[in-house]
Amino acid sequence: MARSNDEVAALFQEYADLISITGGDAYRARVYEKAARSIGGHHAEVSTLDTKGLQAIPNVGKSIAEKIIEYFQGGSVSAVEELRAKIPAGVRRLTAIPTLGPKKACVLYEELGISSVEELADAIHEERLRDLKGFGPKTEENILHGIELLQSSGDRVLLDVAMDLAEDVVAALSGARGCRRCAYAGSLRRVRETIGDIDVLAAATKSGPLMRAFTELPYVSEVIAHGEKKTSVRTTKGLAVDLRVVPPDSWGAALQYFTGSKAHNIRTRELALHRKLKLSEYGLFDTESGDKIVSGTEEEVYARLGLPWIPPVLREDRGEIEAGLHDELPDLVQESDLRGDLHTHTDLTDGLAPLEEMVAAAAERGYAYYAITDHGPNLYMQRMTDERMLAQREQVRELDGAYGRHGRREKQDRRGGMRLLHGVELNIDPDGEVDWPEEFLDGFDLCVASVHSHFNQSREALTRRLVRACENPYVDIIGHPTTRILGKRPGLDADFDAVFAACERTGTVLEINAHPDRLDLGDEDILRAKRHGVKFAVDSDAHSTLHLADMRYGVGTAQRGWLTKDDVINTWTLTRLKRFLRKGR
């Protein structure tokens, strides 16, 4: 289930938005934004901490700590409730529209009385926003696109939220009386970037005990439907979960069927028909005799159709059937193949943990190498200077090799520990330039470059901007290339085929940012970039020790893009990686 930290982080982010909407102090809003980030990334459950323990979290002072205690004691925070009461819920809903911030939402409400997404769409179509300062045709276009994003996301949640809940349900049901097997299926098993509802499959000879255990889970708020084969519930987090129970000897066919996708299943049923077979969730049957041929495992089902087992991440009818028939399925990259993480942050800039904590946590993951890439000076709010970056470099050199694979600092044979790379995340300016001159950049082991602002340039300007960054010999990786934030901000409107071609020509790597909010590049862009011959890096972009574990979602996205470990540079040995990074400098 979602951590209590996430609840509090969401509450304080809402509070920051409410302060902005009601014209409150901008500095105060920023304080709560920072607190939300720190709480969300803190390693310990905040619900277990007292006031002193809460104040030990960065950016959490006495007043914020008291609000957290108030929330867990009474289920609400009076200060938040007071601000909620001042404005209609519809105005708060406006802030959920990608590209529309709290200040603009406030203007729309005060000047035009707009208090719902529907009213805003109508006002744009009637061109009533154009008389407002800061609302021109381009702004209207962006807001409409944001409304489309909001409506298309519907009740869908991010991958990590769904995964936390699904794994909790599966763990609980696996221990229930009579359960032979249990797993999640559907789009979650295929590692789609957002999830509508969660499909859980169980095998048992009697379904009653399992269905009863399912409806009695502590986070079930409503039983939508209760049956012998299928029960549907809604959880306290608003997510719907469906449980299907099948006989043990139907497990393989049911898992294949309920994993999907629909398009993939149509293709497998067509293959079955060509072989005079019928495939359903109950098994693979002979059409003439009606006899069940196989159904116990997915491997048996696929083998009888003349196919190898197809990994769930590939089951989207994007060529996996043809590749399977010709024995050309890729040997997909695995999380265990990753030797390091090449994009992470510390509290020197906008991270939440100091350098040594991040290094120790990375070493616990068994990495052979690890890069620290705090922001350059062109993101002014980070207050980076040459001196601060060089001082960090000395710290990195001191810790290089000092941590063994269990996160413990080694007293001897330091070079046997995890090796450190001192890097930087550069900002790609509107003209494609990056922080620092070449002579300073030459001192870094690794340079990631990312777009952090001016997202609404023309398509031509954005394309030139990214291509120019690729052509900089010191830029090794383009970070979160499209800049999208799922459900909140669309990707850049650039000619990415031209960008991919530039990456191939210059040897610039594209990042697959593993943060569940981003998963950028997405799978379809990965497939296109791979056809151009581009190499990739799967990175956590961790801003806390907890974020290092997000790599699983980046790897899942890489797999959906058909990547092998040779496509991903942080599966390579350190020697090979360093040789690649120095190329062209």
- Among candidate residues 26, 194, 37, the one with its CA nearest the CA of residue 103: 26
Q: What is the pLDDT at residue 354?
A: 93
Same domain? For 454 and 553 the reply is yes
Q: What is the pLDDT at residue 369?
A: 97
How many CB atoms neighbour CB 161 within 10 A?
18
Q: Would you say residue 385 lies in a domain?
A: no
Contacts of 344 (CB under 8 A, 6+ apart): 351, 358, 362, 370, 371, 372, 373, 539, 540, 541, 542, 548
Q: What is the pLDDT at residue 415?
A: 56
- Confidence band (pLDDT; 50, 70, 90) for 269? very high
Same domain? For 92 and 192 the reply is no
Whether residue 432 is predicted with pLDDT greater than 70 in this model: the reply is yes
- Confidence band (pLDDT; 50, 70, 90) for 481? very high
Q: Would you say residue 462 lies in a domain?
A: yes
CB distance 330 to 311 below 8 Å? no
Tally of domains within the chain: 4
Percent of the chain with pLDDT over 70: 95
Q: What is the pLDDT at residue 411?
A: 55
Strands (E), 336-490: 340-341, 369-375, 419-427, 446-450, 477-478
The strand pairing partners of 233, in sequence order, are 223, 241
Q: Would you say residue 384 lies in a domain?
A: no
Q: What is the pLDDT at residue 302?
A: 97
CATH code, domain with 303: 3.30.210.10
Q: Would you say residue 393 lies in a domain?
A: no
* Average pLDDT rounded to a whole number, residues 518-535: 96
Same domain? For 48 and 131 the reply is yes
* Average pLDDT rounded to a whole number, residues 273-286: 92
Q: What is the pLDDT at residue 488?
A: 79
HSE-up of residue 436 (Cα within 13 Å, Cβ side): 25
Coil, strand or helix at 531: helix
Q: Would you say residue 404 lies in a domain?
A: no
Coil, strand or helix at 365: coil
Rounded Cα–Cα distance for residues 58 and 38 (Å): 6
Same domain? For 461 and 442 the reply is yes
Choose the most confident range, by mean pLDDT, from 35-44, 118-127, 132-141, 461-470.
461-470
Whether residue 22 is predicted with pLDDT greater than 80 in this model: the reply is no
**Total residues belonging to the chain:** 585
HSE-up of residue 345 (Cα within 13 Å, Cβ side): 22
Q: What is the pLDDT at residue 29?
A: 86
Contacts of 425 (CB under 8 A, 6+ apart): 343, 345, 373, 374, 375, 376, 448, 449, 450, 479
Same domain? For 469 and 545 the reply is yes
Rounded Cα–Cα distance for residues 69 and 407 (Å): 33
The strand pairing partners of 489, in sequence order, are 485
Q: Would you say residue 502 lies in a domain?
A: yes
Q: Would you say residue 433 lies in a domain?
A: yes
Whether residue 3 is predicted with pLDDT greater than 70 in this model: the reply is no
Domain end, chosen from 118, 137, 153, is at 153
Whether residue 93 is predicted with pLDDT greater than 80 in this model: the reply is no
Rounded Cα–Cα distance for residues 253 and 281 (Å): 5
Contacts of 290 (CB under 8 A, 6+ apart): none
Q: What is the pLDDT at residue 276?
A: 93
pLDDT digits (tens, 9 = 90+) for 180-221: 999 999 999 999 999 989 999 999 999 999 999 999 999 899
Same domain? For 66 and 130 the reply is yes
Same domain? For 516 and 544 the reply is yes
Q: Would you say residue 101 lies in a domain?
A: yes
Contacts of 75 (CB under 8 A, 6+ apart): none
Whether residue 413 is predicted with pLDDT greater than 50 in this model: the reply is no
- Confidence band (pLDDT; 50, 70, 90) for 479? very high
Name which of 120-129, 148-157, 268-277, 509-518 the model is least confident about.
148-157
CB distance 47 to 24 below 8 Å? no
CATH code, domain with 174: 3.30.460.10
Whether residue 508 is predicted with pLDDT greater than 50 in this model: the reply is yes
Same domain? For 276 and 215 the reply is no
- Cα dihedral sign, 298-300-301-306: positive
CATH code, domain with 340: 3.20.20.140
Percent of the chain with pLDDT over 90: 64
CATH code, domain with 61: 1.10.150.110
Distance of CA 49 to the CA centre of its chain: 28
Q: Look at the block and give the residue holding tokens 């987090």.
A: 237
Domain coverage including residue 275: 261-325
Domain end, chosen from 116, 135, 153, is at 153
pLDDT digits (tens, 9 = 90+) for 219-262: 899 999 999 999 999 988 778 999 999 999 999 999 999 999 99
pLDDT digits (tens, 9 = 90+) for 74-86: 888 888 888 888 7
Contacts of 339 (CB under 8 A, 6+ apart): 367, 368, 369, 570, 571, 572, 573, 574
Same domain? For 69 and 179 the reply is no
Same domain? For 106 and 205 the reply is no
Identify the DSSP state of 549. Answer: G
- The 3 state secondary structure assigned to 2-54 is CCHHHHHHHHHHHHHHHHHHCCCCHHHHHHHHHHHHHHHCCCCCHHHCCHHHH
Rounded Cα–Cα distance for residues 403 and 396 (Å): 12
In this prediction the pTM is 0.85
pLDDT digits (tens, 9 = 90+) for 366-384: 999 999 999 999 876 667 8
Rounded Cα–Cα distance for residues 352 and 346 (Å): 6
Q: What is the pLDDT at residue 448?
A: 98
Same domain? For 460 and 550 the reply is yes
Rounded Cα–Cα distance for residues 493 and 185 (Å): 34
Ramachandran angles phi, psi of 528, nearest 5°: -65, -45
Same domain? For 229 and 129 the reply is no
pLDDT digits (tens, 9 = 90+) for 530-547: 999 999 999 999 999 999
Structure tokens at 574: 């350190």
Rounded Cα–Cα distance for residues 174 and 181 (Å): 7
Structure tokens at 147: 């409304």
Mean pLDDT value across the chain: 90
